[in-house]
Amino acid sequence: MATVLDDINAGVREDMESRKRLVSLAELQERTQAVAPARDAWHALGGTATVRDQLKVIAEIKRRSPSKGDLASIADPAALARQYAGGGAAVISVLTEQRRFHGALADLDAVRAAVDIPLLRKDFTVDEYQIWEARAHGADLVLLIVASLSDAQLVEFSALSHELGMNVLVETHTEAEIERAVAAQARIIGVNVRNLKTLDVDRSVFAALAGQIPGNAIVVAESGVRDAADVTHYAAHGANAVLVGEALVSHATPLQRIAEFTAAGAAAIAARG
C-alpha cells in the first residue's frame, strides 16, 4: 500500500520529467558554472564551533502543507526572506515542491536575489537532476530524505552535492534511518518528528532519536515547532538547530519570532550544560 511519501515522490518524479523536457541535464550543468560559489551552510549552522552554545534557526518559506492545507499566500517570498535574515535566521529553507506545498523554483530564485545567507532547497530529492537544478538556482544546501533513498543513493547524492560545493541535510525518522545516515557520513542530520507515511507528529520521539546521533554532527529538529516551549524542548534534548515553517509564516512578526526562538534555544542549551 502506497504511503503519503510514496505519493509525493511519484508526483515529484512526474514534475521533474516535465522540467527535463524544457531544460536538459547538460544545460543545468552548464548553468552551474555561472552561479556564485555555494555559501557554507555547515559554518552557518555552527558546525565549525568548538562549543555550540547557540541554537540556529532554519526559517522556511512554506505556503502549504499536506497535513494543514493552506498556511500563507506568500505573494512576495523575497520580502519574507529579508525578514527572516533580519531576524537572525542562519539558513532559509525554500520549498520548491509544487503539488503538495505550492512551491516553485521561482521562489528559490527570488529569495537568492534578496538575501546573502545560505539557502536550503527543500524538496523530495529522488534524482541527481534535482541536485544540479538546486545548484543552478543558487541553493547551498539540499535535503536528502533517508526514507526515500537507497544507501547507494544517499552516498551518491551526498557526494555530488559536496562536489558542487553544497552541504546536505539528511532527514531521518527512525533509529534505523539514523544508522543509515551515519553510515553515509552525514554531518547535518535532521530528525523529523512527523511520520511522512501517516503525517502524524510525535514530538516525544525527538529525544530518543537525537541521542543516537554522533556528537560531531549538527542535529536539526524538524516539524512540530509551535512556540518557544517546543524550541526549548528540542534544544534541551540535543538540537543544534530547528527548522521552522508554519510557526513563522502564520505569524504577524516572523522577525521577532526568530529572535524569540533563538533566545529560548540558547537558554535551554546553557541549562543542559
pLDDT score at 32: 97
Mean pLDDT along residues 234-248: 94
At residue 271 the predicted structure's pLDDT band, cuts being 50, 70 and 90, is: very high
**Sequence-ordered strand ranges (E) for the chain:** 56-61, 64-65, 69-70, 91-95, 119-122, 141-145, 167-172, 188-192, 218-222, 241-244
Query: Between these two residues, 116 and 245, which has the higher pLDDT value?
Result: 116
Q: How far apart are CA 182 and CA 53, in angstroms?
A: 23
Q: Which residue, 142, 147, 215, 141, is CA-closest to 175?
A: 147
Residue 50: count of CB within 10 angstroms of its CB: 5
pLDDT score at 73: 85
| Measured CA angle at 198 (ends 197, 204), to 5 deg | 100
Q: How far apart are CA 112 and CA 118, in angstroms?
A: 9
Domain boundaries of the chain, sorted by first residue: 4-272
| Measured CA angle at 48 (ends 45, 53), to 5 deg | 65
Q: Which residue, 180, 15, 232, is CA-closest to 105?
A: 15
Q: Please list, residue by residue across 30-43, b when 16 or more beta carbons sit within 10 angstroms of its beta carbon and e when fewer do.
A: eebeeeeebbbbbe
pLDDT score at 199: 80
DSSP 59-71: EEE-SEETTTEE-
Mean pLDDT along residues 9-37: 96
Q: What CATH topology corresponds to 4-272?
A: TIM Barrel (3.20.20)
Positions marked active-site: 60, 62, 122, 171, 192, 222-223
Mean pLDDT along residues 129-158: 98
| 269 has pLDDT over 80 | yes
pLDDT > 90 in the chain, percent: 81
| 36 has pLDDT over 80 | yes
Q: How far apart are CA 67 and CA 64, in angstroms?
A: 9
The region of weakest confidence among 16-30, 69-83, 229-243 is 69-83
Average pLDDT, the chain: 93
Q: How far apart are CA 269 and CA 51, in angstroms?
A: 11
At residue 67 the predicted structure's pLDDT band, cuts being 50, 70 and 90, is: confident
| 154 has pLDDT over 90 | yes
The C-alpha cell of 216 is what?
A: 560531531
pLDDT score at 51: 75
At 60, the amino acid letter reads E
Q: How far apart are CA 81 and CA 241, in angstroms?
A: 18
Say which residues have a Cβ less than 8 Å from residue 141's Cβ, sequence separation at least 6.
41, 91, 118, 119, 120, 121, 166, 167, 168, 169, 188
Torsion of CA 179, 183, 186, 187, to 10 degrees: 90
Residue 68: count of CB within 10 angstroms of its CB: 12
pLDDT score at 252: 74
| 33 has pLDDT over 90 | yes
